[in-house]
Amino acid sequence: MQKISLINAIQVFDSRGVPTISCKVSLEDGTSASAMVPSGASTGSKEALELRDNDISYHGKSVTKAVNNINNILSSLVIGKNPSNQKEIDELLISFDDTEDKSKVGANAILAISLATAHVAAKANKISLYKHFSKVYRDITGQNVTHCMPLPMFNILNGGEHADNNIDIQEFMIIPSGAKNFVQVMQWATEIYHNLKKILLKNNYSTAVGDEGGFAPSLDSNKEALRLIVDAIKESGLVPGKDVNIALDCAASEFFDDNKYILKGERKELSSIQFVDYLDDLIQNYPIVSIEDGMDENDKDGWKLLTERLGSKCQLVGDDLFVTNKKILKDGINEEMANSILIKFNQVGSITETIETIHFANQNNFESIISHRSGETEDTTIADLAVGLGIGQIKTGAPCRSDRVAKYNRLLWIEEESSNILLK
């Protein structure tokens, strides 16, 4: 195998026009591949550190320190290494940093190299990236994977930190659960999306979109958002609760203050118990099968109550709660919080640690959902990660805006080229 001969990184821009890192890894024979790092807006407090310059340029958001760390420091650690040895490379970078949150060199710097290394290794071995990810999973865990196409959660109505409207719940997503293949998944999702646009227009609501490509109208309540989505599903000739289900990401940490869940859009202030009742009521009245971050990340009692009350009838996903961190997930499982985990590799900062967390979730019967960030690029690595690790679910925004659609388009090509890979 050709060894790594050069690593270089530059500052590029994400879907919000905010600086991020693009990193290219080259091998001795000139083979090269690059990858880009995403960035969140509603971040969990225990996420690995995204190193930014915090000076006057780019409103403090430039990433030249992280870029320089790659070019001037980290590159020398991995030059000469075999790019197929993902774990060895990630561990070298992690141990050089030697902080809990990767704050010395930046999780964005480490992840950029980690991702680009996987891409160049797949290219050098002349295999698809998803097949390479299966190999890396086997190297790290000793276990084989059955490939599958993931079922997406399409975020078609945006609120919270991702939109300038009055909706408190951050993401209203549709899941085309009854579709027979990924082509049909996309047809249903886009038809519903465009019917929702027509319904919003008919009601004189805005059809401007939020950070993840979903519509961002101001509405009377979260229930109104759900009603409009159910109407759009029916208008598409599909049956809510059978063909298409609904998932929510409350991102509740963003509206939890002074021990209260403050729904500004509905002028409500709810205790943890009352907010669990509120979510229970939504589940009973709408075909909701999954709720992410239903409680604030530090409201442990709220999470336990939510899991006890709704855990048997709904997927409860920990995002800010677990931040893709195996240790934090372990504690959460012991305390009986949630029943599944959202996976974002920039929350933890390397492919190896991401895979270790997914493996731990698998061993504990926790479902994993592979996820984008609200600040994205045209990088499609997460599509291959989902297929290669046999993860049945992905969320990567609305079927709108290239930063979101790029991942869905990549999945369409994977299905086209490998007809034996089926929806989970």
* Residue whose Cβ sits closest to ligand 2PG: 40
Q: Answer yes or no: are the C-beta atoms of 7 and 21 closer than 8 Å.
A: no
Q: Any contact of residue 319 with Mg ion (CB under 5 A)?
A: yes
To the query of whether residue 344 is one of the catalytic residues in this protein, the response is yes
Separation CA 117–CA 79 (nearest Å): 11
Q: Binding marks (x or -) toward ligand 2PG, 307..336, rule CB under 6 A?
A: ------------x-----------------
Separation CA 147–CA 423 (nearest Å): 9
**Cβ-proximal residues to 18 (8 Å cutoff; 6+ apart), any chain:** 39, 58, 61, 375
Given 212, 353, 367, 376, the catalytic residue: 212
Of 32, 117, 165, 374, which lies in the binding site for ligand 2PG, with binding defined by CB under 6 A? 374
* Residue 371 binding: pick among Mg ion, ligand 2PG, none (C-beta 5-8 Å cut-off by kind): ligand 2PG
DSSP code for 26? E
Pick the closer one to ligand 2PG by CB: 53 or 161. 161
Of 20, 32, 34, 42, which lies in the binding site for ligand 2PG, with binding defined by CB under 6 A? 42
**Stretch of 55-63, 192-200, 273-281, 284-292 contacting Mg ion, by CB under 5 A:** 284-292
- Residue 187, CA distances (Å) to 184, 190, 249, 337, 409 in order: 5, 5, 23, 35, 12
* Residue 355 binding: pick among Mg ion, ligand 2PG, none (C-beta 5-8 Å cut-off by kind): none
DSSP string, 326-381: HHHHHHHHHTT--SEEEE-HHHH-SHHHHHHHHHHHHHTT-EEEEE--SB--S--H
Q: How many CA atoms lie within 13 A of 6 on its CB side?
A: 11
To the query of whether residue 212 is one of the catalytic residues in this protein, the response is yes
* Residue 41 binding: pick among ligand 2PG, Mg ion, none (C-beta 5-8 Å cut-off by kind): ligand 2PG
Given 61, 123, 344, 407, the catalytic residue: 344
Strands 245-249, 256-257: parallel, antiparallel or unpaired by DSSP? unpaired
Q: Select from 188, 304, 169 the least CA-distant residue to 243.
A: 188
Pick the closer one to ligand 2PG by CB: 144 or 402. 402
Separation CA 101–CA 11 (nearest Å): 22
**Stretch of 22-30, 123-131, 283-291, 312-320 contacting Mg ion, by CB under 5 A:** 312-320
Question: Among residue numbers 210 through 269, which ones bind Mg ion (CB under 5 A)?
Answer: 249
Question: What are the tokens at 276?
Answer: 């669990």
Q: Any contact of residue 393 with ligand 2PG (CB under 6 A)?
A: no
Of 249, 299, 353, 384, which lies in the binding site for ligand 2PG, with binding defined by CB under 6 A? 249
Q: Any contact of residue 247 with ligand 2PG (CB under 6 A)?
A: no
Supply the residues annotated as catalytic. Answer: 212, 344
Kindly list the residues in this chain that would bind ligand 2PG in the complex (CB under 6 A): 40-43, 171, 212, 249, 251, 319, 342, 371-374
